Chains A and B, each alone.
Chain A
Amino acid sequence: MTTLTHNPAASDPATSRPVPQPKKSLITRLHMGTGMVVGIVFCWGTYFVLRHHFSSPYRINHDEGLTDSHNVNITLLASMFMWCLGFLIGIGALIGPFRWLIGKDLTAEEQLYLAGDGQDWKRYFRYCTDHKVVGIQYLVGVMTLLGAGGTMAMMIRTNLVTPGSHFVAPHVYNSLVGLHGITMIIALIIVSTGPFGNFIMPIMIGAADMAFPRLNALSWWVLFTAIPVLCSAWFLGGIPTGWTAYAPLSTQAGPGMNAFLATIIIFALSTAVAGANITTTVVAMRAKGMTWNRVPIFVVGATISVALAVPAFPTFMAAMIQTGLDRTFATGFYDANVGGSGWLYANLFWIMGHPEVYVILIPGVAALMEIAPVFVRKPLFSYGAAIAGFAGIAGLSILVWAHHMYMSGWMPSLNGPFMVTTEFISIPTGLLFLVLIGTMWRGRPWMKLPMLSVYAFIWDFLIGGITGIYLSDVPADNYLHGSMYVTAHFHYTLMGAALTGAIGGLAFWFPKMTGRMLNERGGYISFWLVQIGFNVLFLGMFLSGAEGQPRRVADYAQIFAHANLISTAGAYSVGLGALILLWSIIHSARSGKIAPMNPWGSKTLEWTVPYPVPLVNFDEPPVVTSDPYGYGRSVK
């Protein structure tokens, strides 16, 4: 395997060429700043117009001295969506569709300008269609969301350090739990498919670009607009519902709930666009010779994940729109007085909610399957079993949603069938373990940072998976549901598996994305602090949950004190480890050791291109003649 050393600062082909200057094009004048200005103008303009409209004498019920909460909700939701629309107009996202409408398609120079060709760091703040730029934007966005969600987690654990600590008020604690949940869920949905699915995946399949470069940029910037909307929940009184936002609690909640609804609707739009783009790219733009059995396993996993998200998330969006209509126009989807039902919400939510777990999980596992053969220098054990595992999980995941509703009273006669389908899912999940262990079997692993994540995943996900089987069992769930046991279980699954996989992926692809090696010492220290802290945190939570401590409650009885103290100590260790990882990433990206073109000796296509990756990725379209895991011997 040939390895070449490249100095990222020396010859960046993207910035060494002259910047294309499309004549008299508005595109060259728009960027994130103009987007913010137009978005804020739209938002505040809408707010003041509607405030004025609803404050008119005809609209206020002076007899009761109350402002109609429906009108407040209309005002806030409209302002949030107008922020989103205004930002997209201001950054130039709608120029393409408008130009299509009037029959004046973007010129070649305009398209090249949009791709960021010849531009410096400013392209990261424009509506840039280069998939590498979008990948880095997603990476920064994910890290921001994880940082925000992690900070909230630290506050939650600090509040629970001793009984009656009162670090935060109970209503603030409720909001912390809900906003931590939704922030982390959004971050984890995009944690692998966002950065690696955009930056790495097109190169892995030998494509010159994504199928729809403008939609690619749109998916990121639409998601970006959701972040301030979600943050605004804090200034509007928070959310009292947890991330599940069960109705009718959510329809009766204060103004902060509007931020939650708008975030989910905007995020679902972003996901649909990204899902269509990634799926089309993989189906239609693979290199010559890359038959389906030669597609790298990460690409398969990411594609199955987004293909699952495309039909799953709209049901969540529908539930949010119904909640929004109940809050604004006094419909009655979830109001039993006018024929509605909270069970409708629960069904729509979990029809999305359970597949979403696997939307999060599959790309992380697939990244680790990409890593294991490289560091063990053995072929991936049973590529077919890996695909069967992913496909089986994806297929079964749409048949298990009601296991979240065993104790809700909805259709008790279906508890048995849903218990069986849920337990069946352990079979394809077992295949994933089989593939990873089979790959490592009798190998001589190269114990670098990415490989450590494979081991961590096997340990963490084994615990997360087995405790999930207990919870899928109706009698056991009768006792354990609503307890900290459930919280520990899904953290072992989502954080222990998906986030661990994503961190492994970052350590693996960091040299390709930044041109520099990730600081190893910082990475190792972070890894052990996070993994030891994580297990202390959530094994303690299993203990308190099994003893009966309810989740989402700001205070607890003295008998849970020791377990909570242990958990909080573990949480601080995770927090410290995360900070060290963040420092390592920033420090390494700025001044880390220059990376060779293929530091790990991998055989997939992304390692055949230099850093910085050229605009069209490959000088010549690659031709694939073998599978990507043809390793025969160990590396020293």
Chain B
Amino acid sequence: MANQIEFYVHHDSPEKVGRRERLGVRILIVADGSFLFAMIFSWFYLRNLNTNNAWLPKGVHSYTAASGWWAVAAFIVAAIVHRSGLAKASNRKMTSVIALLALTIGMVYQWNQMAHMPFIAQDAAGRNFYNGAYASNWVLLAGANMFHYIITIFIALGLVIRGYRASVDPVLEEWRQRTAGSWFTWCAVAGILAAFTTSFK
């Protein structure tokens, strides 16, 4: 029984398991990238099509280009801070906390943007709708950012908590930090692409 457990759970070295986990996350990033591609495609397709001149109808307010960049700044900060923690293990607990804080602030900012969208109008029956294709696409990209914030904060919180617990395999944990780094970097790249896209009104 003991041998069975030992073999089942540890049939590969932590290094192999770690590399494998990183590969799996990178493949999931490809799927997420494809989803982002679909959203960026939608933005530029509808913007260039401008059906009925309703991409951004006259008189409808929009966000500034800068606001998109502010919404992803936290991703960039978190990715850089996490990378610096990977480079110097002694700083890791501190960098994990900073990354978590940055991401939390970013999420609150993104939430605030979504709570005060300026382009919602009402139809004759008094129902709210998003006025213009710009508004529809903006809310989808902001939603994707929000989704990334929720996932990334979950990971960052886990890294902080695990950083203070000694009951984890140090080699595997090192690889998991690197795997998390792949996700942090991807979220920063995705955020930059989204901010770049929303800069084109």
Contacts and interface: CB of A to CB of B under 8 A. Distances in A.
Interface of A: 17-18, 20, 61, 64, 68, 70, 97, 100-105, 108-109, 111-112, 115, 117, 208-209, 211-212, 215, 272-273, 275-277, 279-280, 283-285, 310-315, 317-319, 321-322, 325-326, 329-333, 336-341, 343-344, 347-348, 351, 615-616
A99 to B, nearest CB: 10
B130 A101 contact: no
Given A318-B42, A332-B130, A208 B31 contact: no
The 5 closest A-B pairs by CB, nearest first: A339-B133, A339-B54, A318-B38, A330-B129, A331-B136
Contacts of A322: 42, 136, 140
B38 A100 contact: no
Contact of B34 (A310, A326, A616): A310
B9 A111 contact: yes
Contact of A339 (B28, B52, B126, B157): B52
B46 A339 contact: yes
A61 B139 CA distance: 26
Nearest to A130: B8
Contacts of B10: 108
Interface stretch (B18-26, B90-98, B185-193): B18-26
Given A318-B35, A329-B139, 11 more contacts: A61-B125, A105-B168, A109-B5, A111-B8, A276-B27, A318-B39, A319-B38, A321-B140, A333-B42, A339-B53, A615-B4
Interface of B: 1, 4-12, 16, 19-21, 23-25, 27-28, 30-35, 37-39, 41-42, 45-46, 49-57, 125-137, 139-140, 154, 157-158, 161-162, 164-165, 167-168
Given A101-B154, A331-B130, A340 B136 contact: yes
B24 A332 contact: no
A100 B7 contact: no
B35 to A, nearest CB: 4
A341 B33 contact: no
A615 B46 CA distance: 53
A272 B161 CA distance: 28
A211 B28 CA distance: 14
A310 B119 CA distance: 34
28 contacts: A17-B1, A17-B4, A18-B1, A20-B5, A108-B8, A108-B10, A112-B5, A208-B7, A208-B12, A276-B25, A280-B24, A280-B27, A310-B30, A310-B34, A315-B34, A317-B35, A318-B38, A322-B136, A325-B140, A329-B130, A331-B140, A332-B129, A332-B130, A332-B133, A338-B54, A338-B132, A339-B49, A339-B132
Contact of A314 (B32, B131, B140): B32
A112 B11 CA distance: 13
B50 A348 contact: no
B183 to A, nearest CB: 13
Given A280-B23, A344-B45, A68 B136 contact: no
Contacts of B12: 208
A101 B160 CA distance: 9
A173 B164 CA distance: 61
Contacts of B37: 315
Nearest to B164: A103
B20 A333 contact: no
Contacts of B165: 103-104
B9 A108 contact: yes
Contacts, number: 192
Contacts of A97: 154
Contacts of A102: 161
A471 to B, nearest CB: 26
Nearest to B131: A338
A415 to B, nearest CB: 18
Nearest to A97: B154
B27 A315 contact: no
A336 B50 CA distance: 9
B24 A212 contact: yes
A284 B33 contact: no
A100 B168 CA distance: 10
Contact of A285 (B20, B49, B164, B167): B20
Given A339-B52, A339-B133, A330 B126 contact: no
Contacts of B41: 347-348
A337 B34 contact: no
A211 B139 contact: no
Contacts of A348: 38, 41-42
Given A284-B16, A325-B136, A616 B52 contact: no
A347 B129 CA distance: 24
A616 B35 contact: no
Given A275-B27, A318-B39, A341-B51, A333 B9 contact: no
Contacts of A318: 35, 38-39, 42
B89 to A, nearest CB: 17
Contacts of A616: 7-8, 11
Contacts of A310: 27, 30-31, 34
Contacts of B127: 61, 68, 70, 330
A276 B24 CA distance: 5
A70 B51 CA distance: 23
B28 A276 contact: yes
Contact of A279 (B21, B27, B130, B139): B27
B45 to A, nearest CB: 6
Given A70-B127, A102-B161, A333 B31 contact: no
B54 A280 contact: no
A192 B51 CA distance: 43
B23 A283 contact: yes
Contacts of A341: 45-46, 49, 51
B139 A336 contact: no
A264 B133 CA distance: 24
Nearest to A617: B11
B51 A336 contact: yes
Nearest to A61: B125
B136 A332 contact: yes
B38 A112 contact: no
A212 B132 CA distance: 43
Contacts of B161: 101-103
Contacts of A273: 28
B36 to A, nearest CB: 9
